A and B are shown apart, each in its own frame.
Chain A
Amino acid sequence: MKLEKWNPSVKMVTILICVLILSFQYNTVLNTTVFAVMLLSLFFFSEVNPGKVAALLVPAGFAALGLFVMGLYYAKGSSIPVKAMADVDMMPYMVRAALSTNLHTALQLATRLLAYAGMGIVFALTTDGEYFVRSLMHQCHLPPKFAYGILAAFYLMPFMARELKNVQLSFRVRNMCGNALHPNVLFTMLVNSVRWSESEAMAMESKGFCGAAKRTYCEIPEIHPADVIIAVLCIGSMVAGIFILGS
């Protein structure tokens, strides 16, 4: 089964549980294994473009590196007293730092961030927005009003990106600052967004959409045994990993 077919609500719950379990563990090997497994499953069990994965991993990699450096140099509770460290000052600082348990902490932090990133990427890239929202509606009882509102906003994104470009350009051609975060640009986008959402809501309403009224559903996402089996497998292997790899 491809990851895309996995019921999104079950997928979400599974990943949340895995994230929770992982946050109570301080195990570099486990973190690294989770990260590797996530990447491998993306390559073998999904249709995701590897370039997209790489693009998302770059910022995650930087963040992990940042955490690593921070943990290495600035963490509290170095196992070697500062005085002892000062005595061996012929050693380069890097080596001295590495001697301390800070290295351990730093690696833990960095790999954990990568493991989280891996799980996040798996969810984000293998989940179809519409399928997810439909599933939330039926499995998690999200009201249709929100569900379809979210979908409409989601599909409006490419349009909004295009409009933002136009707004920025119109400021620039009038010799005004067109930075996306400039208050004037933000204001124009804000006013426009309100108008767009109003038009969108009117269009939906004129097609008979009414949050409260009864409606039929063309397709109701279901939870199949396979969905649950994969979830149990994931959580189970995570727990097993904790015992096998030791904490």
Chain B
Amino acid sequence: MKQKTEEMLHLRDVVFRYHPKGKRNILDHVSLDIADHTITVITGSSGCGKSTMAAVSAGLYPENGGYLESGEITLYGRSVREMNPQERASVMTVMFQNPDLQFCMQTLRNEMEFCLENICVPAEEMDQRIKNTAEELGVAYLLDRRLSTLSGGEKQKANLACLFLMKSRCILLDEPFANIDEDAAWEMVDMIKKMHDTGTSFLVIDHRLEYWIPVADEIIVLGKGGKLIKSGINKDNFREYSSFLRENGLFYPNEDRKVHENTEMTRPMITLKNLTITVGEKWKKKGQSEQMLTDMADAVFEKKRISAVLGPSGSGKTTMFQAILKQHAYTGEILIGDTPLHKIRRGKLYSEVGIVFQNPADQFVTQNVLEEVEASLRQRKGLSKEEKSSIAKELLEEYGLSGYRNYSPYMLSQGQQRRLAVLSVLASGKKILLLDEPTYGQDYSTTISIMEHLRRKVEHECMTVILITHDSRLAKQYADKVYRLKDKKLVDITGLSDEDEVKT
């Protein structure tokens, strides 16, 4: 009996796939036990079924899709399938990767009210409970702002606060730091620690172990088909396992080694002069004002170089890309080569500049992985059909996607989709690439292979790459030039360590 109360999640021989008649099981005879009152982190190579396992554990699948062939899933001793959403929410709530798709109300206060209504909290208790939670977690300043105007980091914090408010026994986080910057991620880790101290259990799915090593009670590694390969890793015995993790491409070595050094100047490819970008609603209500993202910012992105742009989420990095692609108004000057942007016609601009979006599902133009790459190859002139097909296959092989050739791009996991998106843009043979968070959700080895591939392309094909990332270590390792968007300016921080940066 004691065993039962201590066990939070119990999976026994779970077999799950998306199509009843499909051949590939996403979860292939998975068995797992997770103890209560812990912070447990689940990691594994991208596409190994971590997110699916989370959704199945929380009872969201097969209710919302997919087919559970067999297996037993219990939460605190009760079968998940027998519980309705209300009952499940009292034991486990889930936070997902995409911060945009988790709210159904206008402000955090309304959303919190919605959550409390769902679990039948009497109306007169709501205000006090919301106030207490918001103050405890330091999110009171977000309560009455429109959720759609919050940055990714703020949205995730808001969402975490909602889940904590509901006082469920366990909170499941599915790559909670996708699309948010490092500072916000650390703040969230602090929030999670506080919540854990009050008795909440956490089950976390993530690739970035460095956030979790200090706080996790246990790190679990899953392999193909969601099978358990290693468990019981924690901060005390982490060193013993670090070579195992490195071999499996899961751990990011803690070193600031510069992989390539290219300090000499080349020709500027994209120059920003006095760039000012504002956002705001077209028809402002009384008292609303425009928000300035960059103010007279200057930067030079050189040819044959990788440049990185760091900065908190919501600070305007993505909007800067849109401005370069003529999708957002700006004042100041943007030069492509020596030509001012406004003198270049869109068609010409798009034949030279490629982009990978933050949300990779936005950019698929076909319904098949192989065709997706071929569609990009079509932009390169002088290739026969057979050549295209064979190049596409080679590239898919290199990116570990050849097994998914005939899949729809939408059926890939988040990490795989991002890889495919990067791959298709690289295949198009463009001279300038704008990449928005190309490596999030990738395990370490895939991240390295993407960056190495980029590096080769840049050197051999004279490309210019601008990369938006939240991963400052990656930026410092691979980029020849690093900018940080800070106080509405682009500050050149190439070669500065974190301490130096604070000083300047």
Whether both chains belong to one complex is answered with: yes
Interface positions of A (Cβ within 8 A of B): 47, 49, 51-52, 55, 130, 148, 151-152, 155-156, 158-159, 163, 165-167, 169-176, 184, 187-188, 191-192, 195-196, 198-210, 212-219
Taking a contact as CB atoms under 8 Å apart, the answer to whether A216 and B123 are in contact is: yes
Asked if B354 and A173 make an inter-chain contact with CB atoms under 8 angstroms apart, the answer reads: yes
Nearest CB in chain A: distance from B100 CB, A: 5
User: Which of chain A's residues have a CB closer than 8 A to the CB of B285?
Assistant: 47, 49
- CA A210 to CA B84, docked complex, whole Å: 8
Residue in contact with B346 in the complex, picked from A152, A172, A215, CB distance below 8 Å: A172
B114 at the interface (CB under 8 A from A): yes
Smallest CB-CB separation from A48: which chain B residue? B285
Contact of A171 among B55, B93, B365 (CB under 8 A): B365
Q: Which residues in chain B, 87-107, are within 8 Å of chain A measured between CB atoms?
A: 88-90, 92-94, 96, 98, 100-106
Contact present for B115 and A166 (CB under 8 Å): no
**Contact partner of A198 among B64, B347, B362, CB < 8 A?**
B64
Given A200-B104, A216-B117, A191 and B410 contact (CB-CB distance below 8 Å): yes
Size category of the B interface is: 35 or more
CA gap between A174 and B355 in the complex, in Å:
10
* CB <8 Å contact, B101 and A196: yes
Whether the Cβ atoms of A209 and B118 lie closer than 8 Å is yes
From A202, A208, A210, B55 is in contact (CB under 8 Å) with: A202
Residue of A nearest to B165 (CB): A207
- Contacts A207-B114, A208-B93 given; does A158 touch B362 at CB 8 Å: no
Whether the pair A205, B148 counts as a contact (CB closer than 8 A) is no
Are A207 and B89 interface neighbours, CB within 8 A?
yes
Residues in A neighbouring B375, C-beta threshold 8 A: 174, 176
Q: Which residues of B contact A171 (CB under 8 A)?
A: 365
How many residue pairs bridge A and B at CB < 8 Å? 163
> Could you say which residues of chain A place their CB within 8 Å of the CB of B300?
none
Instruction: List the B residue with the shortest CB-CB distance to A148.
Output: B104
Instruction: Report whether A195 and B410 are in contact in the complex, using a CB–CB cutoff of 8 Å.
Output: yes
How many Å lie between the Cα of A219 and that of B110 in the bound state? 10
Q: Report the minimal beta-carbon distance from B57 to chain A, rounded to whole angstroms.
A: 11
Residues from chain B with a CB closer than 8 A to the CB of A192 are: 361-362
Q: Which residues of B contact A191 (CB under 8 A)?
A: 361, 410
B93 touches A206 (CB 8 A): yes
Nearest B-chain residue to A49, judged by Cβ: B283
- Give every chain B residue within 8 A of A215 (Cβ-Cβ): 117-118, 120
| B359 surroundings in chain A (CB, below 8 A) | 163, 166
* Other A-B pairs, 7, CB within 8 Å; known A188-B364, A202-B64, A216-B121: A174-B379, A175-B347, A188-B365, A201-B64, A208-B166, A212-B84, A213-B85
Residues of A within 8 A of B163 (CB): 207
Asked if residues A207 and B64 are in contact (CB atoms below 8 Å), the reply is no
Cross-chain pairs A/B with CB under 8 angstroms, 21 sampled: A130-B110, A155-B103, A159-B101, A166-B359, A170-B364, A174-B365, A174-B376, A175-B347, A175-B351, A191-B410, A200-B104, A203-B96, A204-B104, A205-B64, A206-B60, A207-B162, A208-B86, A208-B90, A210-B85, A215-B120, A218-B126
